[in-house]
Chain A
Amino acid sequence: MKKIYLALLFYLISFNYSKALIEIDITRGNLDPLPIAVSPLHVDAKSDQIEGLKVKDLGNNISAIIEKNFKNTGLFNTLKKEAFVQKPDIAHLKPRFEDWRLIKAQALVTGKLLIKDGKLKIEFRLWDLTAAKEMTALAFTTTPSNWRRVAHIISDKIYERLTGEEGYFDTRIIYVAESGPKNERVKKLAIMDQDGANTKYLTLGNELVLTPRFNPTNQMVTYLSYFRNMPRVYLLDIETGMQEVVGNFPGMTFAPRFSPDGKKIIMSFAEDGNSDIYTMDLETRVVERITNHSSIDTSPSFSPDGKYIVFNSDRSGLQQIYVMRSDGSEVKRITFGKGIYGTPVWSPRGDLIAFTKVRKGRFYIGVMRVDGTGERLLTENFYQEAPSWSPNGRVLVFYRETKSGKKGEGFSASLWSIDITGYNERKLTTKTDASDPSWSSLLSK
C-alpha cells in the first residue's frame, strides 16, 4: 500500500517537472482607447426617396452618430475615414482583415441599409480584425424617421459586445433649460437624446421648475414645480403629457426620485421649517413617513434593490450623508470626511454612491462605496452638483455653474459628464443653459 503511495507521489513529482511551464504575468498593457473603424453604411441604390430625408447621406449620418457615441465614451478611438481601405459594401460582405489591420484598427463596423415601401432596413456587423472573425451581427426594420435611434441601438450593441457592459446610447436626458439674467432665470423642463439631438421643451417657462427625474422603468418623470407659487412634486407622463400633484401635502414637497421599481416616489416634505423624507406609493396612494427628525432630511435615493435609502441630513450640524433601511430604521452616517456632503445617488449597479462635496469653497463630484469608504473625488470646480448615473453605472452627468461678475454677467449653467474612473470629463451640448440632468434608462431594453 505504502509503495503504491510512493509510486504515485514519485509519479506526481516527475509529472510536475516535465510540465514545468513558463508562466508570465501580464499586468500592464496599453490603456489607449481601442482603435475602431466605423465604415459608412452602404445605402442600397434601390432605396426609395423619402421626403425630408437625405437617403443618399443616411449611411454616412448613421456611422457618424455611432462614431460620435464611441468617441464620447473615451474608451474607443475612431479612425479617420480617409484611411479606410475598402468600399463599405464590399467590406460589409467580408473585410480584408490584413488591410484593415494595416491602419491599426482592431475592430471594424460595417453595415448597409435599404429603404423600401416606407420601411428602413438596416443591418450591421462588428468584426474582430485581429482574430479575423465576426463578433456580432444584427438587422433591424423600422420607420425611416427612426434612423437616429437605430444608430444609437447599434452603438449600444457594439459597446456591449466590446466592453461586456450594457450601453447607454439609446437614452435620453431630462434637464432644466435655463435662460435670462441670473436673478430672473426662466426655467423650462427639457428633454433631449443622450447625444444632444432632438431637444424638446415640456413646459412653457411660466413657472419655476426644478429637479426632474426619470422613472427607471418607463417614460414617467417626477419634478418640482412652483405652479401657482406652491412648490410641489409633480408626476408627468412625457408621452401623454398627463400630470398630477404627488400626494396631498399642506406644504412644500421637493427632492423627488423614483424607487428602482418605479412604483414609489420618495421625496422631502417641509413642515414648519423641518424637512423629512416621505414615500408615496403610486398605485395605492399610501403616503409613508420615513424620517422624523428635527433636522433637514432631503435628497433621498433608493438602493437598486429597494432595501436601503441614502439621504442627506444636517442632524450632525452640517450636511452629511446617511444610509438607512427603507422603513427608516438603522440610520447610519457614512460620511466623516472634512467638508459637507450632499445629493447622494445610489448607482444602478448598487456598489457606489455618487455625491457632491463642498470643501473650502470648492465643489467636487465624487463616488464612494456604500459604507462611505473608498471616497474618490472625480472633479473639482467653482460650483457643480447633482450627479445622475448613466443606466449602466459607468458615467455620471451633473451640472456646473460659472462664477459671475458684479451684475451677474458671465453666469452660465451647463451639463457635464465624467467617467467614474475620473477620466473623460466632457461638456454636453445643449441648446440653452442647462441644469439638473437626469439620465433615462435604455429605451429599447
Chain B
Amino acid sequence: MTFNKNLKNLFLVVFTTLILSACSTAKKSGNLDGDVYTGKETVKYLASGVPDRIFFATNKSSLTTASRATLRKQATFLRKNKKLNVTIEGHADERGTREYNLALGERRANAARDYLMTYGISGNRISVISYGKEKPVNPASTPLAWSQNRRSVTVKVN
C-alpha cells in the first residue's frame, strides 16, 4: 500500500515535471514518457475520439497503459462498424538495423492485433504489415521524431 502511494507520488512528480518542461520548451512537440511518445502531433483519427496509432519504447513491442486505452477505443469502434476491415502497420525508428526493424515492426503490429482480438475483434478483419524503418512519419533525426516513428497504425482497408 505504502509502495503504491510512493509510486503515485513519484508519478505525480514526474508528471508535473514533464508538464512543466513541456510548457517551457516543447509546447507543440508533445512529450515523452520514458521514451514513449505520448503527444498528439502525428496522430490521426479513425473516428472522432478514436486515435489511429500507438507508440512504443525503443526496441520494445509491449503496450503501455495509454496504448491499451487507445486500442480499446479502436475495438469499440470496430465492433460498431462490423463491415470494416483494418490493416495494422508496424513501424520502427531509424536507429536499428533494417532487417531487425522489419521483425520489430511486425511484432509491434501483432501486439496491437492481439490486443484488439482479446476485445472481441475477429482476427480475419485485421491484417498486419511491417514497414520497419522504411516509412517514418517524422523524417527528422531527433529523439522526438524517433519516438513518433516507433508506432503501429491502424488503417481502414475498406
A and B touch in the complex (CB under 8 A): yes
A interface with B by C-beta (< 8 Å) = 181-183, 185, 208, 210-211, 224, 229-231, 251-252, 254-255, 268, 270, 272-275, 296, 298-299, 312, 314, 318-319, 340, 342-343, 356, 358, 361, 382-383, 385-386, 401, 403-408, 411, 436
* Complex contact B99–A299 (CB within 8 A): yes
Assembled-state Cα–Cα distance A235/B109 (Å): 27
* Complex contact B99–A183 (CB within 8 A): no
Q: State whether the Cβ of B134 lies closer than 8 Å to any Cβ in chain A.
A: yes
Indicate whether A254 sits within 8 Å of B139 (C-beta atoms), given known contacts A185-B134, A270-B130, A343-B97.
Answer: no
In chain B between 137 and 158, which residues have their CB closer than 8 angstroms to a CB of chain A? Answer: 137-142
B27 to chain A minimum Cβ distance, whole angstroms, is 16
Q: State whether the Cβ of B103 lies closer than 8 Å to any Cβ in chain A.
A: yes
A252 interface neighbour in B95, B108, B114, B129, Cβ under 8 Å? B129
In chain B between 72 and 129, which residues have their CB closer than 8 angstroms to a CB of chain A? Answer: 94-100, 102-104, 106-111, 114, 129
B108 to chain A minimum Cβ distance, whole angstroms, is 8
Assembled-state Cα–Cα distance A274/B106 (Å): 8
Assembled-state Cα–Cα distance A252/B103 (Å): 9
Residue of A nearest to B138 (CB): A183
Assembled-state Cα–Cα distance A180/B136 (Å): 13
Indicate whether A183 sits within 8 Å of B107 (C-beta atoms), given known contacts A252-B102, A385-B97, A404-B141.
Answer: no
Tell which of B98, B104, B110, B136 has the most Cβ of chain A within 10 Å: B98
Assembled-state Cα–Cα distance A274/B107 (Å): 6
* Complex contact B100–A342 (CB within 8 A): yes
Known A-B contacts: A275-B106, A314-B59. Give 14 more (CB < 8 A). A210-B98, A211-B98, A229-B129, A252-B129, A270-B107, A273-B106, A296-B100, A319-B96, A358-B97, A383-B94, A385-B97, A385-B98, A404-B141, A407-B139
A183 interface neighbour in B95, B106, B137, B141, Cβ under 8 Å? B137
Indicate whether A383 sits within 8 Å of B139 (C-beta atoms), given known contacts A210-B134, A273-B107.
Answer: no
B40 contacts which chain A residues (CB < 8 A)?
A: none
B109 contacts which chain A residues (CB < 8 A)?
A: 273
* Complex contact A296–B103 (CB within 8 A): yes
* Complex contact B140–A296 (CB within 8 A): no
Tell which of A230, A275, A312, A386 has the most Cβ of chain B within 10 Å: A275
Q: State whether the Cβ of B67 lies closer than 8 Å to any Cβ in chain A.
A: no
A387 to chain B minimum Cβ distance, whole angstroms, is 11
Q: State whether the Cβ of B31 lies closer than 8 Å to any Cβ in chain A.
A: no
A254 contacts which chain B residues (CB < 8 A)?
A: 99, 102-103
Assembled-state Cα–Cα distance A56/B138 (Å): 54
A340 to chain B minimum Cβ distance, whole angstroms, is 8
A343 interface neighbour in B99, B103, B111, Cβ under 8 Å? B99
Indicate whether A404 sits within 8 Å of B139 (C-beta atoms), given known contacts A273-B110, A383-B94.
Answer: yes
* Complex contact A299–B139 (CB within 8 A): no
Assembled-state Cα–Cα distance A254/B114 (Å): 22
B99 interface neighbour in A182, A268, A404, A408, Cβ under 8 Å? A268
* Complex contact A342–B99 (CB within 8 A): yes
Tell which of B109, B111, B136 has the most Cβ of chain A within 10 Å: B136
